Structure 1
Amino acid sequence: MLIDEPVSAETTSTGRPSQISGARGCYQVRRVLEEWQAPGQARFYRLQVITPDGLAIAEVTAPPAPATDSWTLRRVWS
């Protein structure tokens, strides 16, 4: 499901998301499946998350450094 909505993210000391929250609820990150970033672009994460309905896959983007407040939840698959 394509979502493309802003979310907030709690991050670990390395900057990886540990929890994402938005209008659709709060998702605890179980593990980071993929992570990449093109030079000067947003960092992309594919995550395994825990939802109220069980495990799901989420794609989120983080803004390029030094910004930290413009996370976007792009997609979620149950």
Structure 2
Amino acid sequence: MLIDEPVSAETTPTGRPSQITGPRGRYHVRRVLEEWQAPGQARFYRLQVATPDGPAIAEVIAPHKPGPWTLHQVWP
């Protein structure tokens, strides 16, 4: 499901997301599946998450400059 909503993220000391919270609820990150970043661009994460409806895969974007994270997509 394409979402593209701003969310807040709690991060680990290394900067990886550990929990994502937004209008659709709170997602606990079980593990980071992929992480990539083009030079000078935002960092993208593909995550295995626990949602209120069960496990899912989420794609989030960490801002390059200070600002909100973006929950891009969620797949059940």
TM-score (norm 2): 0.96
Which residue in the other structure is 1:34 paired with? 34
Misfit runs of 4+, over 6 Å: none
Whole-angstrom CA distance in 2 between matches of 1:60 and 1:40: 17
Please list every run of 5 or more consecutive structure 2 residues that lacks an aligned counterpart in the other structure.
none
Q: Alpha carbon RMSD of aligned pairs, Å?
A: 0.8
Q: CA deviation at 1:17?
A: 0.1
Matches within 5 A, 1:20-59: 20-59=20-59
Structure 1: where are the runs of 5+ without partners? none
Q: Percent identity?
A: 79
Question: Partner residue of 2:18?
Answer: 18
